[in-house]
């Protein structure tokens, strides 16, 4: 089983989460590729994650790149002498666990997330899932290989220069580089702190989308965090997409890959797209700044003390690259910022011509021997079309696009302005399947807490509009529930208000089409309304909330922890 849907079908057929997880754990123990994991969790650690509560990712296995903290487990960033024991998990991991996903361990990487090759590690190098003589792709090599081999349904990587996209291309996966700041980077070992992203690997766009919706959450304790837009933008059925001129397409010896790129462009045209040639020069100029400019100094700052005290413990090529960051002076940073601002100005002019841009993810792959002979130059080639994304603040999605000479996976990337993450995933799903598949692209979630609950008096207002129960949950312990008496032709119902000293309240999350959601919301009488409800897993979904005036003189029902509890014990 490799997808969320396949795991859900197994559970629907009667298999228990524990049984399925045990089978997967045994498969992981037996896998012969010693380079994938740095830390494999014991069966006792897996069992400790099992519970009876529902969540949108209940029973879905995942793994985490070993520069992301998991409480009680070591973090190495691919350097054994750098290892420390994480006291708590990164927020992005906590969100996944609260949603019911099961973590199986921590995966290998290019040391300190510096590289796109996947071989800059003192641990065994993970094997490319299709040809072990070729690069697995980095820096998130272990995370990608685990998903490609079915050892996890999805995985977390990081992406500063392409580390969440290049391994996807080399292992026939979807690789989402979210908008910078949408997924918290607190609890992540810094590469370039101002540019780092947590990325997502999956078998398809629908799975990546479900993980994104759980993990895209504003973190008030993270300086670089920013909230996702209240309503995710979409791209219509008729769209324009940018492609570079032939002068800016270089496959560095894999010239027949140009045919794969052309087929991908034709596929987007068949989906309703119009191709527009754009000038890629400002994007390429920005890409050069990442390693040829002072941003290398940010990598040096991240591990300065360790690098100075134990230089011989850092992988040689990694040390060579990062140590160069000690020398740039402040004036170089300002000059580079001015150059970047000009690149952004020119790039924005090109982006205004189109809805998104289509590029190769990477020109080609290389053999392990080729990279051993030219470790820096060939790594740079891999980042030709990836290095500028975070500098210019784009969202990006890597997609499989056939196999070079019918053997080795090759991929494309579509990218757009910040905030277009789900729009790209929806397009990617159509690209994969001919129509959106497996995702709730045209659906809106809504949290209900009273008479709209399953089996209650007003539930028909959801079901008659095609509403479907997604899962049961609770709010964060920050709400109180008050009673609105019967009147105006409506039954008595609760008013949910966020207040200090609140408790967790039972809710159900339902899905409606966007059209049905608008019609449903139009029925809601004051003092109730629709706002964002914070759930116990840290996610926010639209849901019923009430104006503070609803609490004036009203009976406080919070002690019952939900409407059903009130009806069972408190309504007499």
Strands 356-360 and 408-417: antiparallel
The CA-atom distances, in angstroms, between 70 and each of 67, 84, 104, 185, 395 are: 10, 11, 11, 13, 26
Are 166 and 273 in the same domain? yes
The answer as to whether 517 is a domain residue is yes
Q: Domain containing 521: what range?
A: 443-569
Same domain, 409 and 492: no
Closest by CA position to 223, among listed 201, 199, 200, 190: 190
Which CATH number is 261's domain given?
Answer: 3.90.1300.10
What are the CA-CA distances from residue 436 to residues 206, 209, 303, 326, 445 (Å)? 8, 12, 43, 48, 18
Kindly name the residue from 89, 163, 199, 558 that is annotated as catalytic. Answer: 163
pTM of the full structure: 0.82
Q: Check whether residue 388 and residue 534 sit in a common domain.
A: no
Q: How many CB atoms lie within 10 A of CB 278?
A: 21
- Is 245 exposed, middle or buried (CB count within 10 Å of its CB: 0-12, 13-18, 19+)? exposed
Does an H or E element contain 276, and which? strand 273-278
Tell me how crowded residue 153 is: count the other CB atoms within 10 A of its CB: 29
383 and 513 fall within a common domain: no
Residue 163: active-site member: yes
Is residue 198, in this structure, part of any structural domain at all? Answer: yes
106 and 206 together in one domain = yes
- Structural domain includes residue 200: yes
Q: Where are the beta strands (DSSP E) in 349-492?
A: 356-360, 394-404, 408-417, 443-448, 468-474, 479-484
Are 483 and 555 a contacting pair, CB within 8 Å? yes
- Assess whether 415 and 459 both reside in one domain: no
383 and 451 co-located in one domain: no
Q: In angstroms, rounded to a whole number, what is the distance separating the alpha carbons of residues 2 and 153?
A: 5
CATH number, domain at 554?
3.10.490.10
Q: Do residues 217 and 266 both lie within one domain?
A: yes
**Considering the domain boundaries, does residue 438 fall inside one?**
no
Residue bearing tokens 């919301």: 521
Name the active-site residue from 65, 127, 149, 177.
65
| Catalytic site residue from 139, 155, 225, 473 | 139
The last residue of one of the domains, among 372, 405, 433, is 433
65 is catalytic: yes
Same domain, 279 and 164: yes
Q: How far apart are CA 99 and CA 216, in angstroms?
A: 13
User: CB within 8 A of 257, min separation 6: which ones?
Assistant: 251, 360, 363, 364, 404, 410
155 is known as an active-site residue:
no
515 within a domain of the structure (yes/no): yes
| pLDDT on residue 491 | 77
132 lies in some domain: yes
* Backbone φ, ψ for residue 38 (5° rounding): -95, -40
Per-residue confidence (pLDDT) for residue 308, from 0 to 100? 78
In a domain, 508, yes or no: yes
Count the helix, strand and coil residues of the chain and give each as a percent rounded to the nearest 5.
35, 20, 45
Same domain, yes or no, for 203 and 98? Answer: yes
Q: Read out DSSP for 41-104?
A: PPHHHHHTT--S---TTTT-EEEEETTB--TTSEE-TT-GGG-EE-SS--HHHHHHHHTT-EEE
Looking at the structure of the chain, the number of domains it has is 2
pLDDT at 68 (0 to 100): 98
Residue 267's nearest CA partner among 168, 414, 397 is: 414
**Structural domain ending residue among the three candidates 402, 433, 464:** 433
Q: Which pLDDT belongs to residue 437?
A: 59
C-alpha–C-alpha distance, residues 264 and 92, integer Å: 33
Boundary residue ending a domain (377, 412, 433) = 433
Query: What pLDDT is attached to residue 433?
Result: 85
> Residue 104 and residue 88: Cα distance in Å, rounded?
17
Phi-psi region of 541 (alpha: psi -120 to 50; beta: other; left: phi over 0): beta
What per-residue confidence (pLDDT) applies to 307?
A: 77
Written as tens digits, the pLDDT of the chain (572 aa) is 899 999 999 999 999 999 999 999 999 999 999 999 999 999 999 999 998 777 899 999 999 999 999 999 999 999 999 999 999 999 999 999 999 999 999 999 999 999 999 999 999 999 999 999 999 999 999 999 999 999 999 999 999 999 999 999 999 999 999 999 999 999 999 999 999 999 999 999 999 999 999 999 999 999 999 998 877 888 988 999 999 999 999 999 999 999 999 999 999 999 999 999 999 999 999 999 887 778 677 787 778 888 778 888 787 878 877 877 777 767 788 888 899 999 999 999 999 999 999 999 999 999 999 999 999 999 999 999 999 999 999 999 999 999 999 999 999 999 999 999 999 999 999 999 876 655 566 677 889 998 899 988 889 999 889 888 888 889 989 899 998 887 767 778 888 888 888 899 999 988 888 778 878 887 777 788 888 888 887 777 888 888 888 778 888 888 999 989 888 886 65
Determine the straight-line distance between the first and last CA of the chain, rounded to whole angstroms: 50
Same domain, residue pair 388 and 240: yes
pLDDT for 163 equals 97
Whether residue 197 is found in the same domain as residue 67: yes
Edge-to-edge order in the sheet of strand 198-202: 37-40, 102-107, 61-65, 154-158, 198-202, 174-177, 394-404, 408-417, 356-360, 239-244, 273-278
């Amino acid at each position: 089983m490799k997808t969320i849907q396949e795991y859900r079908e197994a559970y629907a057929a009667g298999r228990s989460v524990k049984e399925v997880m045990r089978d997967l754990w045994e498969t992981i123990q037996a896998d012969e590729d010693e380079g994938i994991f740095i830390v494999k969790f014991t069966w006792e650690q897996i069992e400790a994650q099992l519970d009876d509560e529902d969540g949108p990712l209940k029973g879905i296995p995942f793994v985490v790149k070993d520069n992301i903290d998991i409480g009680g487990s070591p973090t190495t960033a691919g350097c054994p002498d750098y290892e420390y024991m994480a006291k708590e998990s990164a927020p992005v991991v906590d969100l996944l666990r609260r949603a019911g996903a099961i973590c199986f361990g921590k995966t290998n990487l290019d040391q300190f997330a510096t590289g796109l090759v996947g071989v800059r590690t003192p641990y065994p190098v993970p094997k490319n899932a299709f040809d072990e003589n070729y690069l697995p792709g980095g820096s998130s090599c272990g995370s990608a290989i685990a998903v490609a081999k079915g050892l996890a349904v999805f995985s977390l990587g990081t992406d500063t220069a392409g580390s969440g996209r290049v391994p996807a291309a080399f292992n026939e996966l979807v690789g989402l580089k979210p908008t910078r700041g949408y997924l918290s980077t607190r609890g992540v070992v810094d590469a370039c702190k101002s540019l780092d992203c947590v990325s997502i690997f999956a078998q398809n766009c629908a799975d990546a989308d479900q993980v994104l919706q759980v993990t895209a959450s504003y973190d008030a304790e993270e300086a670089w965090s920013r909230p996702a837009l209240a309503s995710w933008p979409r791209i219509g059925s008729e769209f324009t997409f940018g492609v570079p001129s032939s002068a800016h397409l270089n496959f560095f010896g894999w010239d027949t890959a140009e045919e794969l790129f052309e087929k991908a462009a034709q596929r987007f045209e068949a989906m309703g797209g119009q191709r527009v040639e754009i000038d890629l020069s400002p994007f390429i100029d920005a890409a050069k700044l990442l390693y040829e400019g002072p941003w290398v100094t940010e990598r040096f700052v991240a591990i300065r003390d360790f690098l100075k005290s134990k230089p011989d413990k850092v992988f040689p090529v990694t040390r060579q690259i990062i140590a160069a960051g000690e020398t740039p002076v402040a004036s170089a940073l300002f000059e580079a910022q001015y150059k970047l601002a000009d690149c952004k100005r020119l790039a924005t002019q090109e982006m205004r011509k189109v809805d998104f841009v289509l590029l190769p993810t990477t020109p080609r792959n290389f053999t392990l021997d080729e990279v051993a002979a030219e470790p820096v130059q060939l790594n740079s080639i891999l980042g030709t079309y990836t290095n500028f994304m975070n500098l210019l603040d784009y969202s990006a999605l890597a997609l499989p696009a056939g196999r070079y000479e019918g053997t080795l996976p090759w991929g494309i990337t579509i990218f757009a302005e910040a905030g277009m993450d789900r729009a790209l995933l929806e397009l990617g799903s159509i690209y994969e399947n001919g129509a959106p598949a497996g995702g709730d692209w045209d659906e809106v979630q809504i949290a209900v807490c009273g008479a709209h609950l399953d089996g209650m008096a007003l539930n028909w207002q959801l079901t008659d509009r095609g509403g479907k129960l997604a899962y049961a949950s609770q709010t964060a312990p920050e709400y109180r529930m008050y009673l609105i008496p019967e009147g105006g032709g409506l039954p008595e119902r609760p008013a949910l208000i966020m207040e200090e000293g609140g408790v967790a309240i039972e809710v159900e999350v339902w899905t409606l089409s966007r059209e049905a959601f608008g019609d449903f919301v139009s029925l809601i009488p004051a003092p109730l309304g629709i706002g964002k409800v914070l759930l116990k897993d840290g996610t926010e979904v639209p849901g019923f909330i009430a104006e503070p005036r609803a609490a004036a003189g009203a009976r406080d029902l919070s002690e019952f922890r939900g409407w059903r509890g009130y009806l069972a014990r408190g309504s007499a």
